[in-house]
Amino acid sequence: MTEQVLVIAHDDCMSHVTPPGHPEQVARLAAVERGLLGLPLDRQVAPMGATEDVLRCHPQRHIDRIRNALPPSGWAQLDGDTLLSPGSYAAAMRGVGGICHAVDHVLANGTRAFVATRPPGHHAERETAMGFCLFGTVAIAAMRALDHHGLSRVAVLDFDVHHGNGTQDLLWDEPRVRFVSSHQMPLYPGTGHPNERGAHGQITNLPLAAGSGGAQMWAAWQPALEGLRRWQPELILISAGFDAHRDDPLAGLNWTTPDFARLTRAICDLAEECCAGRVVSALEGGYDLAALAESVAAHVTELGRQTA
């Protein structure tokens, strides 16, 4: 049995333009759209994000630094791989607005949502834009669910091939969130060791060796999901990066498209047991365009598959 997945996007996210050859490119959104073709979707437009939501995770000076760095044309470089074009701030704020709207909608209606925006967010630390990311969108969504909606337990699950160092930094002191990240190690950004546990022991890092595939993924994630089942989250947020795919050019894990489907299905089963099926997923990485389209299709299909 399937139902419509809420998909949130905005054309402003194509206005974040990176130089030719940069992997985090506008064409990624076209690949995502190819993956979504033919699926039963409820499409909505991402609103512009509210500064008050960003301020739950980042100080005003971080917002100002990004806005002041926007170039009138061409590109401005924040670090070796994080760049700004004239439309980058609007794109990033659509990501914030989109995921916050998704949280509001899912909590009100009990549906599931996929936020198809860019730039990604899980590397953005409290005062540092890095790794293609400007604002920690999924962490911002977690704090909205807690502080605006009054939830007590939110799970943030990150299966991007790179460690979500920004999400970890933003949620380090937050006992109401459990953050679980699987990622290749060693690999950029160099964080994500198992001994990085958070101020309250609420963070679980699952490093995976280069060359490992679906079997190792499942062996790492299965006990982590069991632990969350005992904790009973009220909402599950996903940092959905698809760069662990064996075809991705930026990493060396050997996941296949069915591996993403299997993990998504397990997360949705957990949500059905714990929180009335409420899941919000947001696009992070994934840089081989064909693999990205396939993986998004598998992921969103599973988001829409309901337990009989």
SS (H, E, C) 191-203: CCCCCCCCCCCCE
Residue 308 lies in a domain: no
> What span, in angstroms and rounded, lies between the C-alpha atoms of 122 and 249?
19
Q: What is the pLDDT of residue 3?
A: 75
pLDDT for 308 beyond 60: no
196 domain residue, yes or no: yes
Domains in the chain: how many in total? 1
Q: What is the residue range of 240's domain?
A: 5-303
pLDDT band at 1; cut points 50, 70, 90: low
236 within some domain = yes
Confirm if 50 and 137 have CB atoms less than 8 A apart. no
Amino acid identity of 281? S
249-293, pLDDT tens digit by residue? 999 999 999 999 999 999 999 999 999 999 999 999 999 999 999
Residue 299 has pLDDT above 70, yes or no: yes
Tell me how many degrees the CA angle 100-236-114 measures, rounded to the nearest 5.
55
Domain presence at residue 106: yes
**Cβ contact 38:145 at 8 Å:** no
* pLDDT above 90 (res 62): yes
CA dist 262 → 233, 255, 258, 302 (Å)? 20, 11, 6, 8
Q: Is the full-model pTM beyond 0.85?
A: yes
pLDDT at 307 over 70: no
- Catalytic choice (123, 163, 183, 299): 123
Q: How many residues does the chain have?
A: 308
Give the model confidence (pLDDT) of 215-250 as tens digits: 999 999 999 999 999 999 999 999 999 999 999 999
CATH number at residue 137: 3.40.800.20
299 has catalytic annotation: no
pLDDT band at residue 306 using 50, 70 and 90 as cut-offs: confident
Residue 278 has what DSSP assignment? Answer: -
φ, ψ (nearest 5 deg) of residue 45: -90, 135
Q: In the predicted model, is pLDDT for residue 154 greater than 90?
A: yes
Work out the number of other CB atoms within 10 angstroms of the CB of residue 144: 25
Mean pLDDT across the chain: 97
pLDDT tens, position by position, 99-138: 999 999 999 998 999 999 999 999 999 999 999 999 999 9
Question: In 229-250, which positions are buried (b, 16+ CB within 10 angstroms) versus exposed (e)?
Answer: eeeebbbbbbbbbbbbbbbbeb
9: burial class by Cβ within 10 Å (0-12, 13-18, 19+)? buried
Q: What's the CA dihedral at 190, 283, 166, 198 to 10 degrees? A: -90
pLDDT score, position 2: 60
